[in-house]
Amino acid sequence: MEIIVNDECAVTAQMMDKLREAASACTDLDVEISLSFVSLDEIHELNRDYRGVDRPTDVLSFPMFESIGELEDACGEREEEGQPVPLGDVVICMDKIIEQAEEFGHTRERETVYLFTHSVLHLLGYDHETEDDRKQMRAREEEIMDAIGLGRETAGEETETQ
pLDDT along the chain (162 residues), means of 10: 85 92 94 96 98 97 92 82 91 96 94 97 94 96 96 54 33
Where are the domains positioned within the chain? 2-154
Q: What is the pLDDT of residue 11?
A: 86
Q: What is the pLDDT of residue 44?
A: 98
Q: What is the pLDDT of residue 26?
A: 96
Q: What is the pLDDT of residue 9?
A: 76
Q: Do the Cβ atoms of 133 and 126 come closer than 8 Å? A: yes
Residue 91's DSSP bridge partners are 36, 60
- Beta-carbon contacts of 70 under 8 Å, excluding residues fewer than 6 positions away, are none
Q: What is the CATH number of domain 2-154?
A: 3.40.390.30
Q: What is the pLDDT of residue 154?
A: 53
Q: What is the pLDDT of residue 162?
A: 32
Work out whether the CA dihedral 137, 119, 32, 154 comes out positive or negative.
negative
The H or E element that residue 24 is part of is helix 13-26
Whole-prediction pTM value? Answer: 0.90
